[in-house]
Amino acid sequence: MTADPDTARSANRRDLEQGIERDFSRRMSYGDYLQLDRLLSAQHPLSDPPQHDELLFIVQHQTSELWLKLLIHELRSARALLAADELPQALKRLARVKHIQHTLTDQWSVLATLTPSEYAQIRPFLATSSGFQSAQYREVEFLLGNKNADMVEVFAHDPGARAELQQLLAEPSLYDEFARYLHRRGYAVPAAVLDRDVTQPYRQDDDLVSVFAEVYATPHEHWGVYETCEELVDVEDNFQQWRFRHLQVVQRTIGQRTGTGGSSGVHFLRRALDLTFFPELYAVRAQVG
């Protein structure tokens, strides 16, 4: 029966349309497709007596991990597209990467509502677990080029994660693929960059800075490359903003205390702000104009 729209409006209710599916006994529902029964039953607070704020802590971490999963998916694809000389498609991927990064950074404001007193109620139940042990976070770092073989050993207890990271360590990063792309396009990328041991942390090469200096001196002649450089700088900038917001939240929650993962805490995290993925793209800025 179709209700009179005016009557429904005055009753402040929305009548369901006839075509709307209601019987999911034999059809796939929203919850079926998304496996919400599994997803929403994966939050298991450990505090005893139960602490109200532990669910926030768990959900914030789990949602971060979901976004990291998508970030890895997009970064892997961007890297493959660059390797296949599909630059516009790779840039499309990076556009999405940047939005995911913004979401990850913005969501710190939710956890920032956790006071030191509230965190102190949960901390004993976290034991030695720490975001430092996030395999997906390391995968993102490796994909972007922040290689560190020591990080692989943190996952000795988890053969799947360890193998994944070991493989990414040995593969070229997004930036390595960009350098190879530039080489194929005729740019004078130094052999030291092209032949580098990709398992090692990326080190700045001054000859590559000179290549970018030419791009930035005459952007219109190098538009696709110039645009890609700026996209990469956006990605690094966004990554640093995530690190900084994490640092700020840690500082307001535990101050100068050590972390559950065993580090010095804020001091250790602050040192990550000195790490860079694309050093030449920052060095070139001093040479423009």
Residues that bind ligand HEM (CB under 6 A): 60-61, 64, 111, 114, 119, 130-132, 134, 137, 246, 249-250, 253-254, 259-263, 265, 268-269, 272
Residue ranges at the known binding site:
57-61, 119, 123, 246, 260
Min CB(118)–ligand HEM separation in Å? 9
Q: How far is the CB of 235 from ligand HEM (least distance, A)?
A: 17
Q: Which of 243, 234, 102, 242 is nearest to 174 (CA)?
A: 234
Burial profile 20-37: b = 16 or more Cβ within 10 angstroms, e = fewer: eeeeeeeeeeeeeeeeee
Question: Of 103 and 210, which CB lies nearer to ligand HEM in the complex structure?
Answer: 103
Inter-residue contact 166 to 152 (CB < 8 Å): yes
Q: Which helix (H) or strand (E) holds 209?
A: helix 206-217
CB of 256 to ligand HEM, least distance (A): 10
Shorter beta-carbon distance to ligand HEM: residue 200 or 258: 258
- Counting Cα atoms < 13 Å in the Cβ hemisphere of 32 gives 7
Cβ-based nearer residue to ligand HEM, 131 or 190: 131
> Residues near 131 by Cβ (< 8 Å), separated by ≥ 6?
61, 137, 246, 261
Query: 165-193 burial string, b = 16+ CB within 10 Å, else e?
Result: bbebbebbbbbbbbbbbbbeeebebbeeb
- Rounded to a whole number of angstroms, the minimum distance from the CB of residue 61 to ligand HEM is 5
Which residue numbers belong to the known binding site for heme?
Answer: 246
For the record, the structure tokens of 233 come out as 């700088």
**Residue type (1 letter), 120:** A
Q: How many whole angstroms separate alpha carbon 143 and alpha carbon 152?
A: 14
* Cβ distance to ligand HEM smaller for residue 101 or 228: 101
C-beta of 129: minimal distance to ligand HEM in Å?
9
Closest to ligand HEM by CB, 198 or 272? 272
